[in-house]
Amino acid sequence: MEMTANASPPEMSSQSQPDDAYWASLFEQEEALLPAEPKVETAKNTGWKSLNRRLDGRFRWADGERTREGDPWRHAQQIMDADETMNLSVVGYNKGGLLVQWRGLQGFVPASQLIDFPQFHLESERLNALKGWQSEELTLKIIELNRDMNRLILSERATLVEADTREQLFERIEEDQIHTGTVTNLTNFGAFVDLGGIEGLIHISELSWSRVIHPSDILKPDQTVTVKVLNVDSENGRVALSLKRLKANPWLTVNQRYKPGQLVEGTISNVVSFGAFVIIEDELEGLIHISQLAEGTFLHPRNVVSKGQIVVARILKVDGSNKRLALTLRGLTTDDIE
């Protein structure tokens, strides 16, 4: 792992710290754990009868369990503090990961915390893969515990690293540092990066200054990547990372570099129902609205342009503050294109 402290790229504006909504997105898929009508398949005879179905939208452990075993939350906290492993059987799954059950508590293992979990873009393929873990026994460690939120999060990956090593890493990792790590998992909301014993998250909004449909458009599993640390929450074992902040924000100076009427050359990056997006420089993307694609009528923008096509367009409007760059293909002459 390589590290350079307090490094920042030129022309980098000051950035606000991620708020709670940032971390909420980390567990976006995990909140599907408790829908009104769960799409969770559970194994038979796994002790779920010891659970009281929710009163406020969450599962509760039964009073009988508390009497026989003591307070399971307190015991779970002791296990977490001691960095002990737990061997638990998978009793169910959902699109976010696997469900386990321990002393009446429902635990969750995010797919990103499974060792060697393959990458899938289709939810049906992802669910079929997770279904394969049904009834399997996993060796896990508790990585987050919140009694008030009834949240018990476990990890298989955490068993690969000793507690003292993780603590030392968290002591060394600080905001604004630059680290090199390996991409371990890609999800709809971001990419997880192994920093040499702990995992950080690059939220999808921190991958590029331009629009990103899916993290796989930018990164791939096992890729070595250099990232900037945005925030460290050692108490909950979370590290927020950024890829785009290693580069200057092109939108900060776009009004000085581009003007209405100017011709630019770019590559069609995506074609949607309302128009086509064009990359005109690294991480700077403009939009050709459907009304500006061509004269006459056509069924879909794909009838006019295609992804990967190189085009010459004219700038209609530049608005750096709102990250808008409007382009047109209409009214161009042969001389303009040549």
For residue 69, the model assigns a pLDDT of 55
Please tell me if the domain spanning 3-16+161-246 has the same topology as the one spanning 34-159.
Answer: yes
Q: Cβ neighbours of residue 306 under 8 Å, at least 6 residues apart?
A: 268, 271
What CA–CA distance (Å, rounded) separates 163 from 150? 24
Pick the CATH number of 34-159 from 1.20.1050.140, 2.40.50.140, 2.30.36.70, 1.20.120.420: 2.40.50.140
Element (H, E) at 168: helix 163-172
Phi-psi label, residue 2: left if phi above 0, alpha if psi -120 to 50, beta otherwise: beta
Structure-token pair, residue 94: 């959902």
CA 74, CA 66: separation in Å to the nearest integer? 11
Q: Strand runs (DSSP E) across the chain, as ranges?
A: 3-4, 41-42, 51-52, 60-61, 86-94, 97-102, 105-110, 137-146, 151-155, 178-187, 190-194, 199-203, 224-233, 238-242, 263-272, 275-281, 284-289, 310-319, 324-328
Dist CA 19 CA 40 (whole Å)? 30
End-to-end CA distance of the chain: 48
What pLDDT, on the 0 to 100 scale, is given for residue 64? 39
Tell which residue, 72, 74, 70, 100, has the closest CA to residue 87: 100
Record: fold of 3-16+161-246: OB fold (Dihydrolipoamide Acetyltransferase, E2P) (2.40.50)
| pLDDT one digit per residue (tens) for the chain, 338 residues | 444 433 434 333 333 334 444 444 444 433 433 333 333 443 333 333 333 333 233 333 344 344 445 789 999 999 988 888 999 999 998 888 899 999 989 999 988 788 877 666 567 777 888 888 888 899 999 988 888 888 899 988 888 776 656 677 777 888 999 999 988 888 888 888 988 777 889 999 999 998 888 898 899 888 999 999 998 887 777 889 999 999 999 999 999 999 999 999 999 999 999 999 999 998 899 999 999 999 888 889 999 999 999 999 999 999 999 999 999 999 887 766 66
Q: What residue has token string 């779970």?
A: 76
pLDDT of 158: 81
Q: Where are the domains of the chain?
A: 3-16+161-246, 34-159, 250-337
β-strands 51-52, 151-155 pairing:
unpaired
CATH 2.40.50.140 fits 250-337, yes or no: yes
Cβ pair 88, 43 in contact under 8 A: no
Is the pTM above the cut of 0.85? Answer: no
What pLDDT was estimated at residue 34?
A: 34
